[in-house]
Amino acid sequence: MRRRRANRNPENRRPLFPFLRKPAGQLAVVLFVAFIIYLIASAGGGASTADVREVSVDEAYQRYQSGAFVLDVSWPAEWDEYHAPNTTLIPLDQLSNRINELPADREILVVSRSPSSSQQARDLLLAAGRRAVSMAGSMSEWYAKGYPIDGAPPQ
């Protein structure tokens, strides 16, 4: 019996997956892998609490009642007018220089008179490696819902 010798010439070998030599085959593989990644990502069943970046005024109040660390990034004049009791004031324009004053081991709830300021502060804190969420509404909405404040808003 004669043993068949393997052909060592690479030009004579048949490729294992010949369709991968064509751009259409390569595109099909990329799309298939992307679809599998999409399925894996969507299998989580929604956002976990770690993924939440913004909470409603009602949820913010529940967190406030539970003892959350609340950071108000309003202007000092707005803070003097009225604010939620037992919150910490660091105006948005000072926050990047004062992040070290905030707890690193707790989630920070960011509130303000302006929801966009709360979002900016939250994003700055997240970029600095802190856990933070912002309140979707403003302190005016907080007050309108009857939640506690120090001071008195204008009538």
Which tens digits make up the pLDDT trace of 67-107? Answer: 899 999 999 999 999 999 999 999 999 999 999 999 999 99
Q: List the domain boundaries for the chain.
A: 11-46, 49-151
**Residue 112 and residue 74 in contact, taking contact as beta carbons nearer than 8 Å:** yes
Highest mean pLDDT: which of 15-24, 50-59, 142-151?
142-151
Who's near 114: CB < 8 A, 6+ residues apart?
Answer: 74, 138
pTM: predicted TM-score of the whole model, two decimal places: 0.66
Strand segments, DSSP code E, in 30-91 are: 54-55, 69-72, 82-83, 88-89
- Identify the CATH homologous superfamily for domain 49-151: Rhodanese-like domain (3.40.250.10)
Q: pLDDT value at position 73?
A: 96
Average the pLDDT over each of 23-32, 41-50, 118-127 and give the range with the smallest value. Answer: 41-50
> Residue 20 has what pLDDT?
72
CA separation for the pair 36, 30 (Å, rounded): 10
